[in-house]
Structure 1
Amino acid sequence: MAEPFLLDSNFFIEAHRVSYPFDVVPSFWLKVKELAEKGIIISIDKVHKEITQNKDELSNWCEENLPKDFFKDTSVVINEYIQVSNWANAKASHYNTTALNEFLDADEADAWLVAFSILNGNQIVTHETSDLKTQKRVKLPDAAKPFGISCVKTIEMFRLLGERF
């Protein structure tokens, strides 16, 4: 089996708030639970923190439906995080200070998602799109690409997996 897909916070947040609300598309959430239980999708502790800080229906669903080991510990990727930090700091002539500080904030998931993928070879599932022109925000696909990491959107992931529901 290929490495699991690594989910960004916005995979859950966009699905919950916009595309696949629990009350309208329960089959989406059943499929997420199934894929999580099979180890086909995973995420990291930083994403868990971003999702559960609101204590809402989404955080409750995650706590009740995802395997206990779904959100992986990022302390094991500190060396890879240093690589990502070095890459970001080398981009200081392009990105503004606020963008770099946000990207490298230890509680923000994006840099950690890249670091985790460097070590483990995951594809990242995110709704962010590349924007090499922006100086105001380091976009996840733009940070992943220099490390050979691909980013896909939710529907692309389901297509790659051959999933239908």
Structure 2
Amino acid sequence: MTVYVVDSNFFIQAHRVNYPLDIAYSFWNKVKELAETGRIISIDKVKAELYDKNDDLEAWCKANLPEDFFKSTDEVMTEYGRVTSWAISLNHHYLPNALNEFLDADEADAFLVAYSLADKDNRVLVTQEKSQPTRKNKIKIPEACNPIDVRFLNTIEMFRELGETF
């Protein structure tokens, strides 16, 4: 079964832009259902990003996501090494601040790619980030996914692939 590994922007952009918690109940009920059935998961680094604002989104996540929704990234250190090696190999392209941010152990992006890479036949990364290969001041998730064959898509593409509506 394919499992979709969601980035923090899956939640943040939905809440702030497209599907506010106080209006789009059907979207959030669908997210809860997919989380409960294990079709979507995330990682500990995303949890840290979501649980640092003490806001309505954090409260919703705590009340509605299963206890085991956020997976440990401790098991993917080999894959994380591959992702970081890829990033470092492009130090001629990316500015030092972009590399430092991407390689920061508290940042989720490289770990999301690594977690998806660890079982790339069954895990698909879900992010709202768009590819920007010429950008030098930020490493976008698609740039890290493409060279190591990690599949990624956005929220709506995930719902279409799952055949889900809300």
Query: Which band: TM-score by shorter chain?
Result: over 0.9
Residue matched to 1:62:
61
C-alpha distance in structure 1 between counterparts of 2:76 and 2:151, whole Å:
18
User: Which amino acid in the other structure matches residue 46 of structure 1?
Assistant: K
Q: Is 1:85 aligned to residue 84 of structure 2?
A: yes
Residue matched to 2:107:
108
- Alignment: residue pair count: 164
5+ unaligned residues in a row in structure 2: which ranges?
A: none
Deviation at 1:159, TM superposition (A): 0.2
> Following superposition of structure 1 onto structure 2, how do residues 145-164 of structure 1 map, counting pairs within 5 Å?
145-164=146-165
Runs of 4+ in 1 over 6 A off after TM superposition: none
C-alpha distance in structure 2 between counterparts of 1:147 and 1:46, whole Å:
21
Q: Is 1:43 aligned to residue 45 of structure 2?
A: no
C-alpha distance in structure 2 between counterparts of 1:28 and 1:143, whole Å:
29
Residue matched to 1:6:
5
Q: Is 1:16 aligned to residue 25 of structure 2?
A: no
Root mean square deviation of aligned Cα: 0.6
Deviation at 1:123, TM superposition (A): 1.0
Using the TM superposition, name which of 69-78 and 145-154 deviates more. Answer: 145-154
Deviation at 1:146, TM superposition (A): 1.1
User: Which amino acid in the other structure matches residue 139 of structure 1?
Assistant: K
C-alpha distance in structure 2 between counterparts of 1:43 and 1:89, whole Å:
25
Secondary structure of the residue aligned to 1:101 is helix
C-alpha distance in structure 1 between counterparts of 2:131 and 2:149, whole Å:
14
Secondary structure of the residue aligned to 1:129 is coil
Q: State TM-score, norm by structure 2.
A: 0.97
Deviation per residue, 1:73-131 (Å, 9 max, x gap): 00111111111111100000000000000000000000000110111221111110001
5+ unaligned residues in a row in structure 1: which ranges?
A: none
C-alpha distance in structure 2 between counterparts of 1:12 and 1:123, whole Å:
16
C-alpha distance in structure 1 between counterparts of 2:49 and 2:102, whole Å:
14
C-alpha distance in structure 2 between counterparts of 1:26 and 1:52, whole Å:
21
